[in-house]
Structure 1
Amino acid sequence: MKYRAEIDGLRAIAVVPVMLFHAGFGLFSGGFIGVDVFFVISGYLITTLIINDLDASRFSLLHFYERRARRILPALFLVVLFCIPAAWFLLLPEDLTEFSRSLVAVATFSSNIFFWKESGYFSTAIELRPLVHTWSLAVEEQFYIFFPLLLMAVWRFGKRAAVWILIAGFIASLAVAQWAAYNKPEAGFYLLPTRGWELLVGTFAAFYLQRGPVRTSTRINNLMSALGLAAIIFSVLMFDKMTPFPSLYALVPTVGAVLIILFALQGTLVHWLLSLKGVVGVGLISYSAYLWHQPLYAFARQYTLGKPGVAVFLLLGLLSLVLAYLSWRFVEAPFRKRSSAGMSRTVIFGTALSGIVVMMSLGIGGHLERGFPGRYPAFQTVSQSLGDWGDHDECYLNGAQSDARIRACVNRQPFVYLIGDSHADAISASVRARMQAEGVNMVTWAYPGCLPIRGTLERPRNKQQACQKYKKQFARYFAEYPAPVILSARWRAYMYGTGFDNGEGGIEFSRNNTQSIVLGDPDGDLDRLIEKELIELRSLAPVIVIDQIPEAGWDVYRKVVSRSRWKGAYDEITTSYDVYRHANARVNALLDRVEPGIDVVRTAAIVCSDDTGRCRDTMNGLPLYRDDNHPAPILAHMIADEVWHKLESHVVRKSPADTGQAGLQPIDGFY
C-alpha cells in the first residue's frame, strides 16, 4: 500500500482537537469528533489492506491479527504500565476498584462495553477515569475481529455483492445510531453497532480508491478536499455535548474525512497543509498521543481534586506529545517491523498474551481487594457516614411505576409526596425517616436529571421519554390523590445549564451540564413556567419547595478522604456564601415571588453563615456532600428536619404504629 503523508496529517487533525476537548477548552467543544475521524481512517486503511490481499489470494487472518497486535498493543501496554503505580498513589478505593475492573476490560478488548455499563448518572465523572479513552480502541479491536471474517465470507460472491452487503450494514448501523442518540445515548456512544457505520464510511473509500485515485480536475479536488477540512473544523467548533451523537450529525465530520481521503491529492492546498513536516510528525505519533493524554489529564484532576488551570493542561498536552514521541520511537516503531531483532511472530503473540494475563491478574486482584482501602486512614469513617445511597422503601419510585404499586402507596394515610431529581433521591431516605417518626407515610418520585415541572424538556435529551412519563404519572395521581408535595431539584443547573464554580478551584465536572427549556418553545420563559406550575400544585394541596441546596464545586468526599492520606489533620472545608448568593440569584428571586403561598426551605440557612461569609462542606471532619452537589446523610437529616417544620402545620398525624395501614379516603388526614 502506497504511503500517503496527508493521511498522517489527517490523524494530526483528529488527535489535537480530542486532546484540547478533554482538557476542557470551550473553543473546541466538538473536539470529540476526532475519534470519528480516526474511525474513518482506520476503516479506510484496514479495508485497503484486506481487499488488496483478498484480490491477490494471499490474505491470512494470522498475519492480519499479528499486524494489529504489533500496531496496537506495545504502546497500550506501556501506558497501562505507567497508569498502574499512578493509580495506586492517587485513586481512592472505589476509583481504584473501578480502574482495576477497567484493566480487565482493556485486556479483553471490551472497555467500550465496560464504560457503557459504568456510565450511570452517579458514576465517577469520565474526566477522572484514566483509561476511559480506550473505549474507542475496543470498538476498533472488535471491528478488526469481525470485519475480516465478514469480508472473507462474502468475497466468494464477488466484490459487488460484498459492497452491497456492507451498504446494508452501514444503513442499519446508522439507523440504530440515530435512534440510540435520542433514546439510549450511553449505549449509542460506546458500542460497535452504533459506531460501525463510521468505520464503514472509510471502507467505502477503500473500495472506491482500489481502482485508482479520483480522476477529477485540480480545481474540483481543491474544492472537495477544502470542504472536507471545513466540515471537520466546523464540527470541532460548533458541536458540543448537547449534540446528539453519533447520530446523523456525525455524518459531517466523517464525510469530511472521506472527502480528504478521496480528494486531497498532490497539488491541492489541503494536501500541502496536511503534508507539512510538523503536521505529519504529530500524525505519526497520534496513536501514542491519544493513549498518553487522558491518563495524564485524569491523574492531574485526581491530584488537584478539581480542574487544573489552563497552563497545567497546556503543559500536560505538551508532555503527552513528548511521551508520545518517545513511545513511538522506542516502542511502536521497533515492534511494528518484523525485521527488528527478536520481533518474530512468536515473540509478538507471546508478549501480547503475557501482557493480557498480567493486566487481568492485577485487575482481578484490585477488584477483589476493593481498591485497598487501608491506604486511606479516613476511608472507613467517612464511608460509614455516607451510608448506603438511596431510599429502598417500596414507595420510593424511580421514574414511572405500575399503577398497583402506586395505589398501594397512596392509600397509606396520611402521606406526602416528594418529587424531584437526584437531589430528591439524595434526601429521600432521610425525609422518609423523619416523616415516619411523625406517623406520616411518603411517596417519592425521583428521576436523575429531570426537572419535576411539567412542560419542560431537558437538554441534552437523554432519557427524555422516561422523564416525561414520570412527570405525567405524578400529575395524574396528584390530581386524584392530592396531598402535601415536597419538591427538591437542582434548580440553578436547569436554569443555566452549567456546572458550579465555587471560585476557589472547585469547578464541577461537566457531566452535569443539563438545561431545561419550555416544551415546544425553546425561547420560552422557564421561570414563569415554574411559577405557574407551583401555583397550580398549591391550588390542590400544600407545597413545600426545597431551594437550591448550596453546591460545593469540588468533590467533598474525595477531598476529605484524600487529605487524610496526604495531609493528616485539616481544617473544615468551606466555600463562599457570596458565590452561592450570586449563582442562585435567579432561583431565589423566583422563590421569593411564590413564597407568600408556598413554603420554601432555605437550605443556605443550614450550612451558611453571614458572620463568616462561608458555607460548610464538612462538619466535624465528615462530608456534608457525597460529591460536589448531592447532600450526604448528615446534611440530608438537617434538611429533613426543616422540611418537617414547614410541613407539620398541614398534617394531622397518626401514631407511628398506625402507619402502613391502607386508608379509605384519598385525602384523609389533611386539610
Structure 2
Amino acid sequence: MQKIRNDIDFLKAVAILCVVFYHLFDLLNISYNLNIHLFDGGFLGVDIFLVISGYLITGSIFKSLNSESFSLKSFYSKRLLRLYPPLIVLILFCLIFGYFLLFPDVYKETAIESVNALIGTSNIRFANSGGYFSLDNSDKVLLHTWYIALTVQFYLICPILISILNRCFKANTKFYVLGFTVFLIIASVLLSKNEKAYLLTQTRIFELFIGATVFMFQDEIRSLLRLKGSLSLIIFYCAALMLVYTVLTTSLSDSYWNPSTSALTIIATSLILILNYEKSFIINTKFNFIGKMSYSIYLWHWTIFVFALKMGLNTSASSCIVVLLITLIISYISFISIEKRKLKNSFIIISLICICLSYLYIKKVKGDNYLSSFMVETKLTFEPKTPKIDFILDDQKVFILGKSDKKPDIFITGDSHTMQYFDFFNDVYSGSVYYSAYEATMAYGPVFNNMNAVYLNIGKSKRQNFYKAYIHTLNELEDNATVIISNNYFLHYKPYLAEKALKDSDESFELFLKDMISDIDSQVQKHKKLNFNIVGQGIYTTFTIAKCLKTDLHDSFLRYVIKQDNCFETYDFIFERRQKINKALNQYAQNNKNVFFIDRNEPLLKIDNYKNSIYTTVDKNKKPLFRDNHHYTPIGGIQIGEYIIKNLNKR
C-alpha cells in the first residue's frame, strides 16, 4: 500500500465532518421538523470518500503489479480484514442494544440488514426499501453501511479488472480503464431517474473508478497543467473552497440524486489528489487525525445518533455536543482497539456465527424482542361483524351503519381515510349512514375513474366499481341529504404522476389538484340538492412516532431510558402539500353553495405556528390517536368523527 499522504487525510477529515453534521441535522430536522440547512450538502462527503478509495486502491494494486508481487488472495485479505472487524463489532452492538431499544419490525429489519452489510449488498437492500432520503429511515441503525457495501463491490471488481487488463494490454491498461469509467458515467446519467439512484451500484460505482482513473493519469495531468509553485497553491485553495461551497449550497431536486449533484465535489477532490500539495497551513496533524479515524467515525456516528434520538437527543446545543463527544470517544476506542489492532481470528469467526444465528432467530420470531411485550396493537375495523349491506354493485359493498333504523340521510365515502371512522359511525353515531370505502381508491369523476395506473394493488377495475357505487348511492339520497368525502388525497398523487408520465414538481401538483377538484365537481353539479362536505387532507406524522405510541413502558425499566413523551406531539411532515390540497378544496367549497370544507386537523392542533405547528398524537388519557403515520386509531377515528358530525350539525 502506498504511503497515506497528509492531503488525503485532510480530505478524509473534511468528508467525515460533512457526513456527521449532515446526518445530525437531518435527523433533528426529521424528528423535530426543524429548518436547519447549514449542511444540506453534507452527504457529498461520501463522494469524497468514494473518489479517495478508488485512488488509493488502484495505487495499491499498481504498486504490487509493478513489483510483480500482486496476489488477489493477499489483496482481499488485507482489504477485508481492515473493513470487517469494526463492522462486525458495530453489528453486534446494534443487535444487542437493538434488542431493548428497537421496535420489533425494525429489529427484524436490522437483522436482515446485518447480513446484507456482511455480504456487501446493503446498498441494494436499502435502495429497494425506501431509498436513502426517505423520511422513515431515521430508525434504520445500519443505513450508512450502504457505502461500505459499495466499497466492497469495488474491491471485488477493480483488482480483477486491472490485473486482466494489465496482463493483456500492459501499457494501454489505463486507457481501457478510462473508457470503462466513461461508460459507467454515461450509464449513471441514464439510470439516475428515481430515488434509488443514490444507493445503487450501477449509478454510484463510477466515482470509485474516477478515483482509479485519476491515479493512472495524474502524472499526465500535472504535466499538462504545468502545476508548479504558486499555481499549485492557488488551485489547491480553489478546490478546497469548492468543496466547502458544494457542502453549504447543494440541495437535492425533488429528493433525487443524479451525477450532476456530485460533479463539483468529484472535480475538487480529484484536483486535490492530483496536486499532491501538502504545504498548506490547513493541512495539520491535529485536524488530519480526524481523517485517520474517519472509517471508525463513519461506522459509529449514525448508529449512535439513531439510538440517542430514542433516548432523548433534542435540539439543544448541550444535547448535541454530548452526543458528538460520545461519538468521538467510541470512535476513538474503535480506531485504537479494533481498526489499528488485528483482532484474533477466533473472535471474528465466533462473532460471525453469533450474527448469523441471531439473524435466523430474529427472522423466525419476526423481530420479537424485549419491546415486544410492551407493544399495544391498534387495528382498523373495515367491515361490521354482522354486516348490514344495502347493496353490492360489482363487488363494491355499500353498508348502512349507525344505531338508527331510518333511511340514511348521510353518505360517507372514500379510501382508508373513511375506513378509520368506521367505529364511530357503526358503534357511536345515533343516526344512520351509507358507508362505502375502499383503501387506496379515489374515483369521483372521469379523470381518476379511468386511470390505468396500479397503486397498492388497486387498479382501474376497482376504481370503476367504486365510482359506480358512488353514483348509485348519490342517486339513492333524498334532497338536502349529506355527502361526506374523506380521502387521503396526497396518497393518490404518485399514481397520478405515473398515469400522466409526469415528474414530481409544483406544476404537476397543480395539475393534480385541478383534476382532483374537476372529478368531485362533476357530480356536485349533477346533484345540487345534496350537501357535499369535503374532509380535508390530514397531517402526516412519522412511523417512528406511531410505533412509539404503541409502546406502553410503565412497567419497564426502559421508561427511564426511552423518552416516550417525544411522541406525544408531532409536526406535519407533508405541510406544504397538505396546505395546497386544503387551500384548493376550501376555495372550491367557497365557490359552491352546496359544498362545505371540514379541516379535520383542527381538533389535534396544539400550537398554531404555520409550518411548525404542533399537533397532539394522544387523547387526554394519553391513549394513541394514530396507528401509523397517517391513519387514526379507533379512538382517534371516534374523536375526529365526532368533530365532523359537530360541523354538520352547525349547519
TM-score normalised to the size of structure 2?
Answer: 0.72
Sort the Cα spacing of 1:446 and 1:351 in 2 relative to 1 into closer, same or farther, 3 A: farther
1:501 equivalent in structure 2: none
2:265 equivalent in structure 1: 253
| SS of aligned partner of 1:253 | helix
Among 83, 86, 90, the residue aligned to 2:101: 90
2:3 equivalent in structure 1: 2
- How far apart are residue 251 of structure 1 and its match? 1.6
Give, in whole Å, the separation in 2 of the partners of 1:609 and 1:194.
44
| SS of aligned partner of 1:386 | coil
| SS of aligned partner of 1:545 | strand
Contact 2:416 2:488 survives alignment (8 Å) = no
- How far apart are residue 593 of structure 1 and its match? 3.2
Contact 2:418 2:486 survives alignment (8 Å) = no
Give, in whole Å, the separation in 2 of the partners of 1:428 and 1:122.
30
- How far apart are residue 11 of structure 1 and its match? 0.2
1:51 equivalent in structure 2: 62
The reply to whether residue 624 of structure 1 matches residue 635 of structure 2 is: no
1:12 equivalent in structure 2: 13
Sort the Cα spacing of 1:427 and 1:515 in 2 relative to 1 into closer, same or farther, 3 A: farther
Q: Structure 1 unaligned runs (5+)? A: 336-342, 392-407, 456-464, 495-513, 648-671
Give, in whole Å, the separation in 1 of the partners of 2:441 and 2:133.
14
Q: Give the aligned CA root-mean-square deviation in angstroms.
A: 4.9
Contact 2:192 2:203 survives alignment (8 Å) = no
| SS of aligned partner of 2:168 | coil
User: What does 1:79-478 align with in structure 2 at a 5 Å threshold?
Assistant: 79-119=90-130, 125-159=136-170, 161-183=172-194, 185-186=195-196, 188-209=197-218, 214=223, 215-241=226-252, 242=254, 244-267=256-279, 271-273=280-282, 275-304=283-312, 307-335=314-342, 347-348=344-345, 351-373=347-369, 375-379=371-375, 382-383=376-377, 385-386=378-379, 425=416, 427=418, 442=437, 445=440
- How far apart are residue 83 of structure 1 and its match? 2.7
Give, in whole Å, the separation in 2 of the partners of 1:192 and 1:579.
30
- How far apart are residue 290 of structure 1 and its match? 0.7
Sort the Cα spacing of 1:312 and 1:439 in 2 relative to 1 into closer, same or farther, 3 A: same
Larger deviation: 589-598 or 188-197?
A: 589-598
Larger deviation: 479-488 or 593-602?
A: 479-488
Contact 1:107 1:360 survives alignment (8 Å) = no
Q: What letter matches 2:538 in structure 1?
A: I
Encode CA deviations 1:295-337: one digit per residue, 9 max, x unaligned.
1100011223x855443223222222222222222322222xx
- How far apart are residue 488 of structure 1 and its match? 2.7
- How far apart are residue 146 of structure 1 and its match? 2.0
Give, in whole Å, the separation in 2 of the partners of 1:441 and 1:158.
71
Sort the Cα spacing of 1:26 and 1:62 in 2 relative to 1 into closer, same or farther, 3 A: same
Sort the Cα spacing of 1:156 and 1:253 in 2 relative to 1 into closer, same or farther, 3 A: same
Larger deviation: 222-231 or 47-56?
A: 222-231
Give, in whole Å, the separation in 1 of the partners of 2:162 and 2:121.
22
- How many equivalent residue pairs? 565
Contact 2:454 2:460 survives alignment (8 Å) = no
Give, in whole Å, the separation in 1 of the partners of 2:92 and 2:541.
34
- How far apart are residue 122 of structure 1 and its match? 13
Q: What letter matches 1:198 in structure 2?
A: E
- How far apart are residue 154 of structure 1 and its match? 2.2
Contact 2:11 2:291 survives alignment (8 Å) = yes
Among 538, 541, 559, the residue aligned to 1:549: 538
Contact 1:434 1:644 survives alignment (8 Å) = no
Contact 1:555 1:626 survives alignment (8 Å) = no
Contact 1:625 1:631 survives alignment (8 Å) = yes
Contact 2:538 2:601 survives alignment (8 Å) = yes
Sort the Cα spacing of 1:368 and 1:272 in 2 relative to 1 into closer, same or farther, 3 A: same
Contact 1:36 1:254 survives alignment (8 Å) = yes
User: What does 1:13-52 align with in structure 2 at a 5 Å threshold?
Assistant: 13-24=14-25, 25-52=36-63
Q: What letter matches 1:291 in structure 2?
A: L
| SS of aligned partner of 2:142 | coil
Sort the Cα spacing of 1:243 and 1:280 in 2 relative to 1 into closer, same or farther, 3 A: same
Q: What letter matches 1:313 in structure 2?
A: C
- How far apart are residue 533 of structure 1 and its match? 7.7
Contact 1:417 1:443 survives alignment (8 Å) = no
Give, in whole Å, the separation in 2 of the partners of 1:126 and 1:557.
14
The reply to whether residue 61 of structure 1 matches residue 68 of structure 2 is: no
Q: What letter matches 1:593 in structure 2?
A: Q
Contact 1:131 1:295 survives alignment (8 Å) = yes
Contact 2:92 2:355 survives alignment (8 Å) = no
Contact 2:24 2:305 survives alignment (8 Å) = yes
Give, in whole Å, the separation in 2 of the partners of 1:160 and 1:430.
73
- How far apart are residue 556 of structure 1 and its match? 3.7
Give, in whole Å, the separation in 1 of the partners of 2:627 and 2:285.
49
Give, in whole Å, the separation in 1 of the partners of 2:647 and 2:69.
79
Give, in whole Å, the separation in 2 of the partners of 1:13 and 1:220.
23
Encode CA deviations 1:418-473: one digit per residue, 9 max, x unaligned.
77xxxx556557669979x96665565559xxxx9999xxxxxxxxx989xx9999
1:663 equivalent in structure 2: none
Give, in whole Å, the separation in 2 of the partners of 1:266 and 1:157.
36
- How far apart are residue 603 of structure 1 and its match? 1.9
The reply to whether residue 594 of structure 1 matches residue 588 of structure 2 is: yes
Encode CA deviations 1:575-629: one digit per residue, 9 max, x unaligned.
599999999888766554332443434324665799xx98552486642213454
- How far apart are residue 160 of structure 1 and its match? 5.5
Sort the Cα spacing of 1:162 and 1:490 in 2 relative to 1 into closer, same or farther, 3 A: farther
Sort the Cα spacing of 1:601 and 1:358 in 2 relative to 1 into closer, same or farther, 3 A: same
- How far apart are residue 152 of structure 1 and its match? 2.1
Q: What letter matches 1:200 in structure 2?
A: F
2:404 equivalent in structure 1: none
Contact 2:184 2:206 survives alignment (8 Å) = yes
- How far apart are residue 132 of structure 1 and its match? 1.0
- How far apart are residue 236 of structure 1 and its match? 1.0
2:636 equivalent in structure 1: 635
Sort the Cα spacing of 1:165 and 1:414 in 2 relative to 1 into closer, same or farther, 3 A: farther
Contact 1:225 1:259 survives alignment (8 Å) = yes
- How far apart are residue 198 of structure 1 and its match? 0.7
Contact 2:488 2:537 survives alignment (8 Å) = yes
Give, in whole Å, the separation in 1 of the partners of 2:625 and 2:76.
52
Give, in whole Å, the separation in 2 of the partners of 1:93 and 1:607.
28
Larger deviation: 477-486 or 153-162?
A: 477-486
Give, in whole Å, the separation in 1 of the partners of 2:559 and 2:395.
53
Give, in whole Å, the separation in 1 of the partners of 2:185 and 2:416.
36
